[in-house]
Amino acid sequence: MQSGVTEQINRKIQERVTAMLQHSRLKLDFWAEALQAVVYLINLTQSKAIRLKVPKALWSGKEPTCNRLR
């Protein structure tokens, strides 16, 4: 069961990285930067799995800001 959930999450991340690179027309050389950006955004987004709370807020105990987004 757990590996199925992990595979779904990895697939979702991979799809978002691909979409980000295609939309920005960047080469695949930038996949690591796109991956980092996608995971950062996921950690700032509410999740149903944790009752619409923000993962970063649960980890740090502080409400996250979007100041770093450009």
Determine the pLDDT at residue 32.
96
59's tokens: 């980890």
CB atoms under 10 Å from CB of 17, counted, come to 21
Question: What b/e sequence results for 32-70 when a residue is b if at least 16 CB atoms lie within 10 Å of its CB, and e otherwise?
Answer: eebbeebeeeebbeeeeeeeeebbbeeeeeeebeeeeee
pLDDT number for residue 36: 93
Q: What is the pLDDT of residue 2?
A: 67
Output helix, strand, coil percentages for the chain, rounded to the nearest 5.
70, 5, 30
CA dist 18 and 60 (Å) reads 29
Rounded average pLDDT per 10-residue block, the chain, 70 residues: 81 95 95 94 83 82 78
